[in-house]
Structure 1
Amino acid sequence: MINFVGAGPGAPDLITVRGQKLLQEADVIIYAGSLVNPELLKLARPECDIYNSAGMTLEEVIAVMEKAEADGKMTVRLHTGDPSLYGAIREQMDLLEPKNISFQVTPGVSSFCGVAAALNAEYTLPNVSQSVIITRMEGRTPVPEKEEMSLMASHGATMAIFLSTGLLEPLKEKLLAGGYTEETPAAIVYKATWPEERVFRCTVGTLPETARENNITKTAMIVVGGFLGNSYERSKLYDPGFTHEFREASK
């Protein structure tokens, strides 16, 4: 069995209970070495074979899985955050299926959740934003034409922007072209939930200079939107004047 496991956003105690158990039971661990906190590897048994996939190709990763399966071993493929977001797990699954190698996925806490925690923020505020757009800038990896950044920005929703710290000048221009203003609240969060976490609040207009001034070039997430401001409406669920299934409105 191959277990794709989400390692969480960084802090080793933010892995799920199921993910922790699988790491403790694994015969083979293949981890994304450039992103996963190595502290998690301390959960492995002494006899566990550990591979850092940072320098491996897809075919090399699959070969390790295939050999482990032939030897009757259980493999954990450890991905950062949640494997379903920018985890490149589909291509692995599509190579495992024809080989009749079974697999399952254990979700993890995504880094965009860790970023919200670092900011003490709520992405979905009444009358501010009820949608979160998770996206990235086009770089060496393209994005579909209909998901070009300015088109995403045109919705005015909360945005959590992955893998774009090195592209902040063009990101700023795309956000402005999409309808955000120079004053729209924004933040750069470096290594959310790690010991070295750093939070920089700014605006869309000052995103590039904020990163430059603080030497942030990678391993950070950019979030944008009115949820970082101070204006919002209270939730109806807890409004004393609102009736729902479990409570009558106060008179």
Structure 2
Amino acid sequence: MSDVGQLLREWRTTRRLSQLELSARAGVSARHLSFVETGRSRPTREMILRLAARLDVPLRGQNELLLAGGYAPAWGESALDGPRLAAVLSSLRDVQAGHEPYPALLVDRHWTMIDANAAVAPLTEGCAAWLLEPPVNVLRLSLHPEGMAPRIRNLAEWRTHVLHRLDDQAAHTADPRLRELHAELAGYPGGETGERPAGLVVPLRYDDLSFFSITSVLGTPLDVTLDELAIESFLPADATTAAALARQSQR
């Protein structure tokens, strides 16, 4: 089995598709797809990208498939502090600033905090200094017993939400570092709940504040780095929280 064929088969298995289902989606014969997966047929660059698109493979994974097939990557990967991304990152920071007095932060694919607006700092007061030293992993910061966890009033519910979400992300991206992070966080105290939360969204009840979160990603990224960035925004879940955050921003 060729490297690219094996990788394609792994992605297809991860997406829980049969060869027949994927071949129908991609407009190729199941026989040809079988030959590709077993290495009997070398796929073209266009075929790899077509199959990757139907498998919803992230840009980083698409590049890995192309390299395994003997082709150059299709997508660039720019440095976060380089000039190519400066304009986009500036706009993303404007979005974060515009979200104040509510918290918002920019994270990468491993939940490393790239940036945060001024409303985030008050929430991390009292956390262990080592958790706040760059690179800060926001999930570790939130669930670690020396971090924000002692102040989360619905910790078991919030942990369940975070761990399920991280598990889904690890499955979608096939990123082993996310699996490692999941195993680490699952080992922290705090419990989990199998019960369905009441209400409309899973809340984060932090001290006397209550939030719900929104994840925003770029709609048309053509760069691996940008494809893996997200803004995590927190909005007040009640009028009391909104008023408290407004007062805090005026201090």
Is TM (by shorter chain) over 0.5? no
More strand by share: 1
Larger helix share, 1 or 2: 2
Q: Return the TM-score normalized by structure 2.
A: 0.32
